[in-house]
Structure 1
């Protein structure tokens, strides 16, 4: 499930995403160079989290705040004090020895106790009668597996039936990778401060963060110039302006010719989905190369696709000379025929979108295309990098960098929080999409969409970013009738719809 971005004030969410160390540097600049006292930022963080609580849960009265002994706990003390003074029934459960508190967290703790609110030792039974739990255990600095009493506490929190609001990040989630450090709080809401952390939006982050809110704590905008982000959010709304209105004198040749290669025995549907997606996103002409035995079947249901039965690499050469972009892999199979088709295009000096079995064949005999878009899911990425899916999921950012270095071109790492990059760009993280899209054929659609955009003149990196977000956005709207049972073909009307943003109100 992808993260849901929510801003109480209807402001636009920032696009840059940061590592934990970068956010700490932003925090340092605000304190040391801009002269904002650390306790002032902590007060703003606790106040912002309390505002989010009231916005989403206006009817709650019983609040339990679970605090650690770092600055994240300090934010929790501020929230607890403000809620207590506002008349809420507040319980503070302390994990760790408060004698180890220091700095701003110690100041916040004393301010809380000075108004008469005392911290209690953690006990799971104290979570039984509560409307909402505030997770203020760990901040973004956690980089090792959660163990001992801390693990037991998080497991107890996850057994709660009430919602959990995590301050800055769900405790146990790695801020840089989105990986679970043994165990993590499963939050209903997360409020992130100063800079959005990249791990919130990919890996396990989207599933554990719930609805994400952002508060910049009123730091001066100039501080962001001092820390260069290498990761950025991608969404349809921020990219759709690239889909300009068509000229009144355009013709089919204006919008390019896509060739889809795939559909071995029993898998013709994958190639058909990719071809139709290329057409629905606006490519001028679509050709499809598949096996002789079922080439004619394509035209029975989609006559706009020019379907060719081809069995040898030599037969495909005339078609390769006519098209602007090739998409290879959907339903390709890994037989002699599939290998022959891949070998036929390996030296082609045209954009090539590589997916599915073409990626599996590439993993067996690696080479670099001159101008490619690779679209693996974690399993395919693991084969391409000769590692395990577990390793890919442990650090998706490292994985996509490794893919790009090894194979060149544009690389896409699919999954919740799909990543996109090339050698010159920041890594983009798509924040659209939903788990209803976890089904057969969705990747074939994406391949066709990207190829169709390249045919219309988009660069490979532009087509990859826009294609990923358009595909995910179409999936979100197709899923409005329910995620369970969503079919890849259900997205096609929405692909066409969102390929024409000038028609949207």
Structure 2
């Protein structure tokens, strides 16, 4: 097994790498299949050493061939193996046929899957459908997937959970929920976005000894965005002579009547991420409440758009949207911001207003959740979630700047010629109101400290996710609230520092 690489690929690209490895690098296809089976069995045996009864469910392609190798190795290890096939095994060809014949010679005779209860086994191996799946799963394959999910047993998926689209992470009708996915040659985009993180479980990678020069022939479809790579590079120690002006001035605009919390949390996040000055423009009734609770935030009561101009002029970066609302007050403030010429982070209701009157800028970061993304593209949430990287690219193309499409596997899409980055950190505890307000403040603070919009978006997403994981590690995911992340933002924004 090898460390997870940064690069993510589409299924067609990985198939081309496989072809090049066989036809141009001279690696026999059956050797690749054998290595894939060995890698899968090694991962399974290491995690479930007490398993004694194993069911291997094989399909009719090379994914099934990998499964036949796994079944034979499990039997050689002394386990009781039941080998199921879906489809006609007499139609197997090439390396998959060779693998099936080797399994038969070892005494493993595959039997058709006919609705068997899989709950009697200790471990299930999903070698049913591979990365070539594009249509909805039907028939016996669907029945087998549903049985695997119903069994309540650990599942090891070969290359990709059956039923998961390798490029988008969409579930094609039904998909296996695996405990571990052992994937080969190149990491597939769909394992890390959409439903992929939930279905794939732990992802284990093996390059099958395909030379790195094979991958160098193509541009990745996306990259993995993780805190351990991003934060040390983007957040070096500060100069000893730094002053508050050198750390940037962030202005957060929002907090219409009854929506005070959003703008305050965005401001606190900006401060904890290192902005030298943080100002808030909010309703008059809110300003003294914020000043009393957070004296490091300079809260200003603003009731008219014309009252905002001076505050915007003093700021290096403006974050607009948290608690802004869509009434006359929010619309007036947003219009001032749009014409002021300051770099922007745009979130929440500011995005909904932008969807009504689209415009383009190079110096802004848009941070929609799927619902806001659907409005920005005038489509449905289901369309956004069915291909999140395409949705982020569509928003960036229509509005320019940088798009941060939030959700499991947050997608950061900068300049169109660059591949998107997909966050691999974060946890379900962060699915709570207010987390997006923190992210808005974080990205704005990083821009104010000199990072480009794209670098700030990437680093901000990584920092936000890492803080969420650290906070969940202390007290669990359920019941996590946005303010739990604040001390961790400070800690993680200083990679050389200590505990909060």
> What residue is the counterpart of 1:384 in the other structure?
376
Matched pairs, number: 496
User: Are residue 212 (structure 1) and residue 203 (structure 2) matched?
Assistant: yes
Which of residues 227, 247, 253 is equivalent to 1:255? 247
Shift >6 Å, 4+ stretches: none
Task: Choose from 448, 453, 457 the match for 2:446.
Answer: 453
Offset at 1:370?
4.3
Q: Does 1:368 align with 2:378?
A: no
Alignment equivalent of 2:390, drawn from 398, 413, 418? 398
| Unmatched 5+ stretches in structure 2 | none
- Equivalent of 2:59 in 39, 48, 68: 68
Q: Shift in Å at residue 121 of structure 1?
A: 1.7
Q: Give the Å deviation of 1:504.
A: 4.9
Of residues 268, 273, 287 in structure 2, which corresponds to 1:281? Answer: 273
Corresponding position: 1:430 with 2:454: no
SS at match of 1:191: strand
Equivalent residue for 1:444?
437
Q: Structure 2 matches for 1:411-422, cutoff 5 A?
A: 411-422=403-414
Once residues 334 and 96 of structure 2 are traced to their aligned partners in structure 1, the CA distance between those partners, rounded to angstroms, is: 60
Tell me the secondary structure at the aligned position of residue 128 of structure 1.
helix
CA distance in 2 between partners of 1:334 and 1:24 (Å) = 48
Deviates more, 1:438-447 or 1:424-433: 424-433
SS of residue in 1 equivalent to 2:182: strand
Tell me by how many angstroms 1:36 deviates.
0.2
Match 1:330 to one of 307, 322, 338: 322
Aligned twin of 1:3: none
Report whether the alignment pairs 1:44 with 2:38: no
Q: How does 1:143-222 map to 2 (within 5 A)?
A: 143-222=134-213
Instruction: Extract unaligned runs of 5+ from structure 1.
Output: 1-8
Displacement of 1:226: 1.2
Which of the numbers 117, 121, 135 marks the counterpart of 1:130?
121
Q: Check whether the contact 2:231–2:495 (CA below 8 A) recurs between aligned residues.
A: yes
Q: Find the aligned partners of 2:362 and 2:26 in 1 and give their Cα distance.
A: 51
1:4 aligned residue: none
Aligned to 1:91: 82
Q: How far apart, in 1, do the equivalents of 2:42 and 2:144 lie?
A: 25
- Cα distance in 2 for partners of 1:326, 1:221 equals 43
Distance 2:16 2:494 in 1: 41
State the Cα RMSD in Å: 1.0
Which among 456, 464, 474 is matched to residue 467 of structure 2? 474
- TM-score under structure 1 normalisation? 0.97
* Secondary structure in structure 2 of the residue aligned to 1:269: helix
Query: CA contact under 8 A between 1:239 and 1:466: conserved in structure 2?
Result: yes
Deviations 1:6-37, CA, capped at 9 Å, x for gaps: xxx6x532000000000001101110110000
In structure 2, C-alpha distance between the alignment counterparts of 1:110 and 1:448, rounded to whole Å:
60
> Quick check: 1:488 aligned with 2:482?
yes
